[in-house]
Structure 1
Amino acid sequence: MISILKNRNFFLLLSGKLVSLLGNSIYHISLIWYVLSLPGEENGKILTWVMVAGLVPAVVLGGFIGGFVDRYNKKKIIVYSDILSGITALVLAFLLNQQLLTPIHLLLGTCILSISTSALSIAVRSVLPEILEEAELQAANASNQFIERLTSLLGLLFGGILVSFLSIQTIFLFNGISFLVSSLCEMFIQYIPTAKSHPLTDRSSHFRDDFQQIFKFLFQNKDILTLMFIFTFVNLLWDPLFMIVVPYTLKTEFAVTPLQFGAIEAALGLGFCLAAIYFSRHPAFLHHHSVLFYSILGVNSLIILFAIPIMFYPFFTGLKHTPIYFVIALILAGVFSAALNIAVATHLQKIIPANLRGKFYGVSTSIAQGLIPLSGVVMGSFIGKIHSYVFFVISCGLVYMVLLFVPAVTRITKDLYKIKQQDYA
C-alpha cells in the first residue's frame, strides 16, 4: 500500500479525496446537530427530508452521472465537483452568518453536495485505470477504500469535538475550504484522456442495452436476484434507523453532548474497520456459507440490544455510562456488518462475469438504496409522535421474520457458494 503512494498522480488524487471526504463527514454530523437544535417540534421531520435530499439525487441520477463521466474529461469532473461542493458549503456558511439560512437552503445545498460527491466518487473509480499501471490497481483500490472508511470514522469523531468548541457556521466554512483545497491538489494531476467521447445517441442506446443485459442475467440467476432483494429489504429497515431515529433519540431523549454524539455515530464504522483488518489477515473465516445468515442475524440482534435503553428510557437516562453502552453495541454491530459486506462482495466478485460487473454493481446499488428515502419519509412522519423504540421493534422484528421464516434465505446462502463464474454474452 505504501509503494503505490509513490505514484505522484495517485498521491495527489488520494490526498484530495482525503481532505474532501473528511470535510464532508464533519459537515454531515454538524448538519445533523444543527437541525436537531432548531427550535420547534418539526426538527425530526426536517432531518428526515435533509437525509432524503442527500440520498435521492445519487440514486436517481447515478446511471446518468456514470454516462456523463464516461463522455467527458474525468480530471475536470473531479476538480469541478470539489469546487462546486466548496462553493455550496461556503454559501451555506454565509447564509447562516447572515441569519438567512432556512430548511429550503439546507435541502438544496444537500442535493447539490449529493450530486457533486456522487460524480466525484464515480470519476475517481473510473480514472484509476488511466493513471496507474494494471499491476498497481489492486493496491490502489485497497488504499481508496481504506481512505473512505477512515475519513468517515475520523470525520464523525472530529465532528463531535468541533461542534463542542466551534459554531456550526465556522464548521461549514472549514468544510467549504476543505473542498477547495482538495480541488487544488487535484489540479496538479497529470492526466490525458485515453478514450474519446461517444455521441449521445450511441451512449443512450448502450445505456438501454446494458440494462436489458444485466436484468436478463439476474432473472437467469434467481439466487443472486433473491439476495439483492434481501439486502434491499434489510437496508430499507436498518438505514433510516441510523440516519434519522438514532440521532433524534440521542439528542432529544438522552441529551448527549456533541462529543458523545460523534463517538456513538463513529462506533459502527470503528467496528467495521477493526473487523476488516482482522478478516484481511484471516480470510478463511468468511468462506463458510453460514456467514451470510448469521451476520444479518448478528447485526439485527445488536440493533435490538442498542435499543434496550430506549425501551426503558426512564431508568437509563440517569446512568452516566449509557453512551458507552451505545458505543459498544454499535462497535459489535460494525463487526457483523463487515463480515456480511466483505463476504458478499468477495463472493459476488467471484461469480459475476467480468463483462457484467460494472453493470451489476450500478443496478444493485440503485435497487438496494432506491427505497431507503421512502422508508425514511415514513419513519420521519411518525418520529416525535410515537415512542422511538417502536421503530426498532418493528424494523428488527420484520428482519427476524424474513430470516427465520423464509426458507429461501437459508437456501440461497448455500446455493450461491455452488455457483461458478462463467462468461455471459
Structure 2
Amino acid sequence: MQPQVHRKGFSKDFNLMVVGQIISILGSALLRFALSLYVLDITGRADLFAILFAISNIPFLLSPLGGAIADRFNRRNLMVIFDFISSVIVFSFFLLLVGGNTSVLIIGIVMVLLATISAMYAPTVMASIPVLVEDNKLEQANGIVNGIQALSNVAAPVLGGVLYGVIGLKMLVVLSAILFFLSALLEMFINMPFVKREQSEHILPTLVKDMKVGFMYVVKQSFILKCMILAALLNLILTPVFVVGSPIILRVTMRSSDSLYGIGMGLIDFATILGALSIGIFAKKMGIHNLYRWVFITALLVVPMAMSVMPFVLDMGYYPSFILFIFSAVLIAMVMTIISIFVITIVQKKTPNENLGKVMAIIMAVSQCMAPIGQILYGLLFEAFSLKVYVPILFICCAMLLMTVATKKIWRHDELV
C-alpha cells in the first residue's frame, strides 16, 4: 500500500466528516439555544431551565457505552445512524409543536434524548479521526474538530437569537431536523476502514465486557492513565474559571455593561477556537517532556488575572482592569485548549484502534465529571470571597504550580512514540 505521508491537506473522507460535524453540531447548538429561549418565554423562570439543562447533561455518563459501541461497529455507519435518529427526534418534536402538545416535560425529554445520542456520537468521532488522518497531521485534525465545537458555542447564541426572532421556534426546529438529516447523508459517502471483530455472546453482554476491558486498559496503561488525570485536573481547575469565574468577575466585580460583558465572554470563547486551530503550529514545539512548561505558563498567566481584580487596579478605572483580565483569560483559554488537544492526540497515537472508542469515551466522561465539581467549588469560593475575588484566583495559580511540578515528575521517564 502506498504511504500517504506526503499528501497535502486532508483526505476527502476526513473533509466529509468535518463538514458533517459542522452541520450536525450547528443543528444541535441552534436547537439547544432556541429551547432555552422558549422555556424562558413560556415560564419566565430561569431556574426551571437551569434544572432541565443540568438533567440533560447527565447522559454524558453513557460515553463509555458509546465508546464500546464505536469499537464494535462500523463508525461511519454509527455517525449516520446517530444523526438520522436525531433528525427523527427533532422532527417528531416539531409535530408536537404544531399540534400544540408541548410542555416543559416534553422539552426536557427531547433534550435528554439528544444528549444521550451526543454522548454516543462524540467518542465515535474522536475514535474515527486517527483512522482517517495520518499520524503527522493528527494534532491539526483534532484541532479542527475541537475548533468546530468551540465555534458552535460562539455562533449559536448569535445566529440562534436572530433566527428565533425572525422565523420562530417551529421553523428553527425544522431547520435543525434538516441539518441533522443532511449531516447523515454526507456521512454516508465517507469511506472508513472497518474490520469486524468476533462476537461469541449476545451484543449486550459483549458491550458490558468491552467496557470493562476499556476501563482495565486505561488503568493498566500508566501513560494513558496519567493523561486522563491531567485532562480531569484541567477541567477541575481551569474550566470553571470561564464558566463561573468570568461571569462573576465581569458582571458583579467589574459591573460590565451588557455589551462589554458580551464582548468579553465572546473573546474568551473565540480564544478556544484560535487555540484549537493553531495546535498544528505549536505541536511541532511540544513534547511530553516539556509539557510542564505549558502548564507553568498557564500558572503565570493566572497572576495578571488576579491582579486585574485587586483594589489598586480596580481603582485605576474600568478599562485597565477589564483589558488586563480579558487579555489573561484569552491567553489561558488558548494554552488550555492547546494542552488538551495535544494530550488527546498522544492518547490516540498510543491506543490500538480496537480500544480507541472506549479509551476516548472514558477520558471524556471522567474529565466532564470534574467540571461540575469545580463549578460548585468555585461558586462557593467566589461567594465566600466576594469582596476579595483575587483570593480564589490566586488559589488557581497555586494549584497550577503544583500541577507543573507533578507534570514534570510523572512524565520524566515517558517517551512519545
Indicate whether the TM-score tops 0.5. Answer: yes
Aligned to 2:396: 399
Find the aligned partners of 2:40 and 2:321 in 1 and give their Cα distance.
Answer: 20
Pair 1:418-2:412 in alignment: yes
Which amino acid letter does the alignment assign opposite residue 418 of structure 1? R
Pair 1:214-2:218 in alignment: yes
Aligned to 2:108: 107
Find the aligned partners of 2:321 and 2:109 in 1 and give their Cα distance.
Answer: 36
Which amino acid letter does the alignment assign opposite residue 12 of structure 1? L
Q: CA deviation at 1:181?
A: 1.5
SS in structure 1 at match of 2:280: helix
Aligned to 1:146: 144
Aligned to 1:332: 331
Find the aligned partners of 1:251 and 1:33 in 2 and give their Cα distance.
Answer: 21
Pair 1:20-2:24 in alignment: yes
C-alpha contact 1:298 1:333 (8 A) present in aligned 2? no
Find the aligned partners of 1:245 and 1:98 in 2 and give their Cα distance.
Answer: 42
Change in Cα spacing, 1:212 to 1:299, as seen in structure 2 (3 Å) is same
C-alpha contact 1:89 1:172 (8 A) present in aligned 2? yes
Change in Cα spacing, 1:39 to 1:377, as seen in structure 2 (3 Å) is farther
- Counterpart mapping for 1:360-371 below 5 A: 361-371=360-370
Pair 1:87-2:88 in alignment: yes
Change in Cα spacing, 1:192 to 1:421, as seen in structure 2 (3 Å) is closer
Give the RMSD, CA atoms, in angstroms.
Answer: 4.8
Which amino acid letter does the alignment assign opposite residue 399 of structure 1? I
Find the aligned partners of 2:140 and 2:208 in 1 and give their Cα distance.
Answer: 32
Change in Cα spacing, 1:99 to 1:203, as seen in structure 2 (3 Å) is closer
C-alpha contact 2:139 2:279 (8 A) present in aligned 1? no
Percent identical among aligned pairs is 17
Find the aligned partners of 1:295 and 1:344 in 2 and give their Cα distance.
Answer: 16
Aligned to 2:51: 49
Find the aligned partners of 1:394 and 1:228 in 2 and give their Cα distance.
Answer: 28
Q: Which is worse superposed, 340-349 or 71-80?
A: 340-349
Find the aligned partners of 1:353 and 1:126 in 2 and give their Cα distance.
Answer: 10
Change in Cα spacing, 1:53 to 1:410, as seen in structure 2 (3 Å) is same
Aligned to 2:161: 163
SS in structure 2 at match of 1:419: coil
Q: Which is worse superposed, 353-362 or 147-156?
A: 353-362
Find the aligned partners of 1:366 and 1:99 in 2 and give their Cα distance.
Answer: 37
Q: TM-score, normalising length from structure 2?
A: 0.71
C-alpha contact 2:214 2:355 (8 A) present in aligned 1? no
Find the aligned partners of 2:307 and 2:94 in 1 and give their Cα distance.
Answer: 38
- Deviation per residue, 1:44-92 (Å, 9 max, x gap): x34543443343212x211112222333343332122112222334455
Change in Cα spacing, 1:245 to 1:327, as seen in structure 2 (3 Å) is closer
- Counterpart mapping for 1:31-70 below 5 A: 31=35, 40=44, 42-43=45-46, 45-58=47-60, 60-70=61-71
Change in Cα spacing, 1:410 to 1:246, as seen in structure 2 (3 Å) is closer
Q: CA deviation at 1:367?
A: 2.2
Aligned to 1:272: 272
SS in structure 1 at match of 2:196: coil
Which amino acid letter does the alignment assign opposite residue 121 of structure 1? A
Q: CA deviation at 1:112?
A: 1.7
Find the aligned partners of 1:336 and 1:387 in 2 and give their Cα distance.
Answer: 29
Aligned to 1:124: 125
SS in structure 1 at match of 2:84: helix
Find the aligned partners of 1:127 and 1:346 in 2 and give their Cα distance.
Answer: 12
Q: CA deviation at 1:146?
A: 0.6
Q: CA deviation at 1:422?
A: 9.1
Q: CA deviation at 1:28?
A: 4.4
Q: CA deviation at 1:179?
A: 1.1
SS in structure 1 at match of 2:57: helix
Find the aligned partners of 1:377 and 1:195 in 2 and give their Cα distance.
Answer: 44
Find the aligned partners of 1:83 and 1:182 in 2 and give their Cα distance.
Answer: 8
Aligned to 2:3: none
C-alpha contact 1:236 1:371 (8 A) present in aligned 2? yes
Q: CA deviation at 1:33?
A: 5.3
Change in Cα spacing, 1:110 to 1:306, as seen in structure 2 (3 Å) is farther
Find the aligned partners of 1:81 and 1:343 in 2 and give their Cα distance.
Answer: 27
Find the aligned partners of 2:412 and 2:245 in 1 and give their Cα distance.
Answer: 39
Find the aligned partners of 2:240 and 2:407 in 1 and give their Cα distance.
Answer: 26
Q: CA deviation at 1:296?
A: 3.6
Q: CA deviation at 1:323?
A: 8.7
Change in Cα spacing, 1:103 to 1:92, as seen in structure 2 (3 Å) is same
Change in Cα spacing, 1:95 to 1:389, as seen in structure 2 (3 Å) is farther
Q: CA deviation at 1:264?
A: 4.6
Find the aligned partners of 1:188 and 1:166 in 2 and give their Cα distance.
Answer: 32
Total equivalences in the alignment? 399
Which amino acid letter does the alignment assign opposite residue 152 of structure 1? A
Find the aligned partners of 1:235 and 1:387 in 2 and give their Cα distance.
Answer: 22
What are the ranges of 5 or more consecutive residues in structure 1 without an aligned counterpart? none
Find the aligned partners of 2:198 and 2:265 in 1 and give their Cα distance.
Answer: 42
What are the ranges of 5 or more consecutive residues in structure 2 without an aligned counterpart? 1-5
Find the aligned partners of 1:18 and 1:328 in 2 and give their Cα distance.
Answer: 28
